Amino acid sequence: MPTIVVEVMPKAELLDPQGKAIAGALARTGRGEFQVRQGKRFELTVPGDELTQELLDRVREIAADILSNSVIEDVVGVHVVGRETPAGV
Amino acid sequence: MPTIVVEVMPKAELLDPQGKAIAGALARTGRGEFQVRQGKRFELTVPGDELTQELLDRVREIAADILSNSVIEDVVGVHVVGRETPAGV
C-alpha cells in the first residue's frame, strides 16, 4: 500500500499567526533565535501495491484542489514515503 | 540560513477526524479509494549559516516539547531542507 505525503505551507508573503505564536513560546523559553512557520502534512494511502505515474498525478490534483487553498497556501512537496521520488510539483 | 523541517502526525491508533473528513470529501468527488491522515509540518529557520549537530538536537528537543503533544502525536521526521540528513528521530 503506497503512502504518498503531501506537504502544504502558507504562502511566504503571508502573515503566519500560528508560526508567530510558536516562535513567541520558544522565545519565552530562551530559544528566541528560531523563526517558525506552520503548515500541513497529509498522508494518502491507497489499497493495492502499485505506484503509478497516474496515481501520483491524481494525488497532485487532489493536493491542489482539496488539500490546499491556492489563495493562501502552496503545495511544497508530494513524495512517496520511503522513496524520494522526484515528484516535483 | 538553514531551514529545518519537523513533521508531526497523529498517533496511528487514534481516530483522525480531519483525515476522515477529507477522505469523505474525496469520496464525494469520486476518489473514494484514498485513506487520508492529516498532521503538521513546521519550518524552523535560524539566522547564520551554520548547521551543527547541536542545532539539530535542539530542534529535536523543541519538536518533542513544543511542536507535538506526545500523548496523541508522533514526531515522524526532522530533516534539513535541501539535504536528506539522516536526522532519524
Q: ipTM for the complex?
A: 0.87
Quick: pLDDT tens for A10-66: 999 998 899 999 999 999 999 999 999 999 999 999 888 788 899 999 999 999 999
Chain B CB contacts of A41 under 8 Å are 7-9, 38-41
Cross-strand pairs, B5: B43, B79
The whole-angstrom separation of Cα B18 and Cα B80 is 27
Instruction: State the pLDDT confidence band at B64, using cuts at 50, 70 and 90.
Output: very high
Using CB atoms within 10 Å of the CB of residue B5, give its burial: 0 to 12 exposed, 13 to 18 middle, 19+ buried.
Answer: buried
Q: Which domains does chain B have, with CATH numbers?
A: 3-80 (3.30.1280.10)
- Selected residue of A40, A41, A69, A74 to mutate for chain B interface (largest B Cβ count, 10 A): A41
pLDDT higher at A86 or A53:
A53
- Residue A66 has its nearest CB partner, among B9, B25, B41, at B25
Q: In sequence order, what are the residues at sequence separation of 6 or more whose Cβ sits closer than 8 angstroms to the Cβ of residue B16?
A: B10, B37, B38
